[in-house]
């Protein structure tokens, strides 16, 4: 948990869990996961915390260590 907090503070990440870091020759990948939150169903209006779908999203940012 200490490592996770250090990385979140270093990269200014809020409300996410760092699950994995992949350090390749010309890239660095941070695999993060958001916290589960309750949402209102658009169809019936009831509150639920069930997950309907998972997805992977790539976000490009400025280079880190020339990667």
Q: Give pTM, 2 decimals.
A: 0.59
What dihedral angle (degrees, nearest 10) is formed by the CA atoms of 7, 9, 10, 13?
A: 80
> pLDDT band at residue 4, thresholds of 50, 70 and 90?
low
Provide the strand spans (E) within 1-67: 16-23, 28-34, 39-40, 47-48
Domain membership of residue 17 (yes or no) is yes
**Cα–Cα nearest to 67, from 16, 26, 8, 6:** 26
**Domain boundaries, position 12:** 6-48
Domain membership of residue 32 (yes or no) is yes
Domain membership of residue 62 (yes or no) is no
**Range 52-63 burial, b when 16+ CB lie within 10 A, else e:** eeeeeeeeeeee
Domain membership of residue 34 (yes or no) is yes
Domain membership of residue 66 (yes or no) is no
Predicted local confidence at residue 38, as pLDDT: 86
Q: How many domains does the chain have?
A: 1
Domain membership of residue 67 (yes or no) is no
pLDDT over 70, % of the chain:
94
């Amino acid at each position: 948990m200490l490592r996770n907090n250090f990385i979140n503070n270093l990269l200014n990440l809020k409300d996410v869990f760092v699950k994995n870091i992949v350090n390749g020759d010309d890239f660095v990948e941070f695999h993060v996961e958001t916290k589960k939150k309750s949402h209102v169903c658009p169809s019936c209006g009831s509150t639920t915390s069930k997950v309907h779908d998972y997805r992977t999203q790539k976000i490009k940012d400025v280079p880190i260590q020339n990667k």
